[in-house]
Amino acid sequence: MCGVVGIVSAMGAPVNQEIYDALTILQHRGQDAAGIVTHQGGRFYQRKENGLVKDVFRTRHMRDLHGSTGLGHVRYPTAGSSSSSEAQPFYVNSPYGIVLGHNGNLTNTEQLSQEIYQQDLRHLNTNSDSEVLLNVFAHELMNQKKLFVDQKDIFNAVRSVHRRVRGGYAAIGIVSGVGLFAFRDPYALRPLIVGKRVNAAGSTDYMIASESVALDGLGFTRYRDVAPGEAVVVTPEGQIFFEQCHDNPVYSPCIFEFVYFARPDSMIDDISVYKSRLRMGEKLAEKIQREWQGHDIDVVMPIPDTSRTSALQLAAMLNVPYREGFIKNRYIGRTFIMPGQTQRKKSVRQKLNAIDLEFEGKNVLLVDDSIVRGTTSGEIVQMARDAGAKNVYFASAAPAVRYPYVYGIDMPSASELVANNRTTEEVAAFIGADKLIYQDLDDLVEAVGAGSELISSFDTSCFSGVYVTGDITPEYLASIDKSRNDDAKTQQKTPTPEAIGLHNQGS
Ligand SMILES: O=P(O)(O)OC[C@H]1O[C@H](OP(=O)(O)OP(=O)(O)O)[C@H](O)[C@@H]1O
Ligand SMILES: NC(=O)CC[C@H](N)C(=O)O
Ligand SMILES: [Mg+2]
């Protein structure tokens, strides 16, 4: 669930620092690698590497990122490897010079890779699906057969991208000589929003980002979400163009963004993530009242960070004290998006510590936003017991995650999901909880959907097994399981870490 951002300063001011700042705000979407590309005078300038934003960019790199148009990316790999050669943005020199950063995951990468070699006569140098997406776009732009292209040609190329590419994609790029462009898959699986800001010269700067929280932090206001299938082009002078590039777009954003990925202070598709999480807490409290009549919960506790919002509301609805019995080490990142199970498990213990007095002799209801592999919940239940809890109950603000996810969250293997082939009671036993309760899927959909008059359907595939794109076969699921389960990833030979192509500035 990477983060992408693009900025155009219409008054020609450098955008390097603003892109850096935006990436730090989007860091929760990807912790493995970061990159920035800027454009000035027909040249691209790049810095990308594995690591957190604060570690990847040094002053010497920042100094060399020239230009008033640029884009940035934070990566959480869902395809290929975690080699730094797959850090984004990607670059191709033909046609015109194009760079692109992608959030999402393509589901027909193999077929596209073959087409790229055999029909488009282009070369791929990594196993990244995002490099594939860039090359399809580049080929389709080349097909416009023009010496000079403009926004109409970019829109035509995106139309063809939609015809060829399957899966989830929100992408931002730059075509040298034209400007910044962005597009979103026809289901709007991955978020993408445009913001604007009047600058000191009185002209309008534009910013496109994965989440609105990045706009807020830089003084941009929300202009509008990119619609499913839509594309947008911003010229270096700050002219903006939108065009619908798909004949049959179906608004079905990924519901897991609201459950876990997005920051609560973001608005996605005009829905407040914060309010949707409050409603998740409300619905879950109603279910507890229905199913655990006369419950004996003494205290409700969130598992920081993400479940805080829903746990707070759940406690209020149950009229039970809300206590923060687990304290989070703010220097440890999100554990779910860490690359291997050993690292994830170790990090939960380093990340969270219990305040014993909140547990001693109490019936504690621990609330998490979701239980995926059970890494967090298993460790946390044990920590609650060690801290002296009498009974440890567990509530998940999302339904049981039983199916692999294919559109941009790295959950490729059903067998790694703790709820796969297990009943609620079996999961409770597995994580060591005395009782476990999951949100119902209808309630989750209502909790998020209540924030929108426009959107009535969401991608709920990891809970329901229903894939909105309608083209996910058991064979495909078997193949990603085989290639991307934790063991396979550990055994993967890391390809050469040096990115071939555009050299890093000042590295
Ligand atoms: O069942 P699991 O496989 O452990 O996955 C689910 C857990 O992982 C996430 O937390 P994470 O630490 O990534 O981020 P957070 O601090 O935003 O809650 C999520 O919020 C759950 O706590
Ligand atoms: N999380 C994402 O959006 C990943 C983007 C892309 N599939 C990659 O692996 O780099
Ligand atoms: Mg968590």
Residue 145, judged by CB atoms within 10 A of its CB (0-12, 13-18, 19+), counts as exposed
Where is average pLDDT lowest: 316-330, 405-419, 477-491?
477-491
Task: Please report how many Cα atoms fall inside a 13 Å half-sphere around the Cα of residue 395, on the Cβ side.
Answer: 33
Domain identity same for 430 and 395: yes
Which residues are paired to 8 by β-bridges?
69, 206
Give percent of the chain with pLDDT exceeding 90.
86
Q: Whose CA is nearest to atom 10 of ligand 2?
A: 77
Of the listed ligands, the closest to the CA of 370 is 1
400 is a domain residue: yes
229 and 283 housed in the same domain:
no
- Give the residue numbers marked as catalytic: 2
The range of the structural domain enclosing residue 209 comes to: 3-250
| Ligand 2 centroid, distance to 408 Cα (angstroms) | 6
- 174 and 34 share one domain: yes
User: What confidence tier does 269 reach under pLDDT thresholds 50, 70, 90?
Assistant: very high
Query: Rounded to the nearest whole angstrom, what is the distance from the C-alpha of residue 127 to the centroid of ligand 2?
Result: 11
Model confidence over 355-371: pLDDT tens digits? 999 999 999 999 999 99
Q: What is the pLDDT of residues 444-457, one digit of tens each?
A: 999 999 989 999 89
Residue 476 domain flag: no
Between 494 and 210, the higher pLDDT residue = 210
Same domain, 73 and 119: yes
What is the number of structural domains in the chain? 2
Q: Which residues line ligand 1 (CB under 6 A)?
A: 260, 303, 305-306, 334-337, 368-377
228 with 365, same domain?
no
Same domain, 217 and 282: no
Residue 368 is assigned to a ligand binding site: yes
Q: Of the residues 195, 218, 250, which one is the last residue of a structural domain?
A: 250
Check pLDDT > 70 for residue 492: no
Amino acid at 310: S
Q: Any idea which ligand is nearest the CA of 375? A: 1
Q: Residue 113 belongs to a domain with what CATH number?
A: 3.60.20.10
Ligand closest in space to the Cα of 261: 1
Ligand nearest to the CA of 262: 1
Q: Which atom of ligand 1 is closest in space to residue 347's alpha carbon? A: 12
Residues 217 and 318 occupy one common structural domain: no
Q: Cβ-count burial of 40 within 10 angstroms (0-12 exposed, 13-18 middle, 19+ buried)?
A: middle
In 121-225 the beta strands, taken as DSSP E runs, fall at: 167-175, 179-184, 193-198, 204-209, 221-225
Residue 109 shares a structural domain with residue 7: yes
Per-residue pLDDT at 495 exceeds 60: no
pLDDT over 70 (residue 130) = yes
Question: Are 283 and 243 found together in one domain?
Answer: no
**Residue 306 labelled as part of a binding site:** yes
- Please report which confidence band the pLDDT of residue 501 belongs to, taking 50, 70 and 90 as the band edges: low
The pLDDT assigned to 494 comes to 57
pLDDT (tens digit per residue) in 41-93: 999 999 999 999 999 999 999 999 999 999 999 999 998 888 899 999 999 99
Residue 409 counted as domain residue: yes
Segment 38-43 mean pLDDT = 97
The residues lining ligand 2, judged by C-beta closer than 6 Å to any ligand atom, are 1-2, 75-80, 86, 102-105, 128-130, 408
Q: Are 445 and 460 in contact (CB under 8 A)?
A: yes
Ligand 1, residue 401: give the atom nearest the CA.
Answer: 1
- Determine the pLDDT at residue 350: 84
CA of 317 to the centre of ligand 1 (A): 24
Q: Which atom of ligand 1 is nearest to the CA of 376?
A: 4
Q: Is 69 annotated as a binding residue?
A: no
Question: 196 and 289: one domain?
Answer: no
Structural element, H or E, at residue 392? strand 391-396
Average pLDDT over residues 291-319: 97
As a whole number, mean pLDDT of residues 249-274 equals 98
pLDDT at 413 over 90: no
Residue whose CA lies nearest to ligand 2 atom number 1: 1
Residues 299 and 423 placed together within one structural domain of the fold: yes
| Amino acid 506: pLDDT | 59
> Which one has a higher pLDDT value, 342 or 12?
12
Q: Which of 260, 277, 420 to mutate to test the pocket of ligand 1 (most atoms within 8 A of CB)?
A: 260
Q: How far is the CA of 282 from the centre of ligand 3 (A)?
A: 19
Residue 200 burial by CB count (10 A; 0-12/13-18/19+): exposed, middle or buried?
exposed
Band (pLDDT 50/70/90 cuts) for residue 151 is very high
Domain final position from 453, 469, 501: 453
pLDDT at 503 over 70: no
What pLDDT shows up at residue 483?
84
Instruction: Specify the range with the lowest mean pLDDT, choosing from 17-21, 74-78, 433-437.
Output: 74-78
Residue nearest to atom 8 of ligand 1 (CA): 336
Q: 184 and 288 share a domain?
A: no
> Which of 450, 468, 469, 473 is closest to 458 using CA atoms?
468
- Cα atoms in the Cβ-side hemisphere of radius 13 Å centred on 408: 30
pLDDT, the chain, mean:
94
pLDDT band at 1 (very low <50, low <70, confident <90, very high): confident
Spatial CB neighbours of 23, under 8 Å, sequence gap ≥ 6: 3, 5, 34, 36, 53, 72, 73, 74
Q: Are strands 363-368 and 43-50 parallel, antiparallel or unpaired?
A: unpaired
Residue 281, in any domain of the structure: yes
Model-level ipTM above the cut of 0.90 = yes
Query: Cα of 210 to ligand 1 centre, how many Å?
Result: 20
The residue whose two tokens read 């890391």 is 494
Which atom number of ligand 2 is nearest to the Cα of residue 29?
A: 1
Q: How confident is the model at residue 497 (pLDDT cuts 50, 70, 90)?
A: low
Domain contains 168: yes
CB-based neighbours (< 5 A) of ligand 3, an ion: 306
pTM of the prediction? 0.96
Instruction: Report pLDDT for 341.
Output: 80
pLDDT digits (tens, 9 = 90+) for 175-199: 999 999 999 999 999 999 999 999 9
Ligand 3 centroid vs 306 CA: distance in angstroms? 5
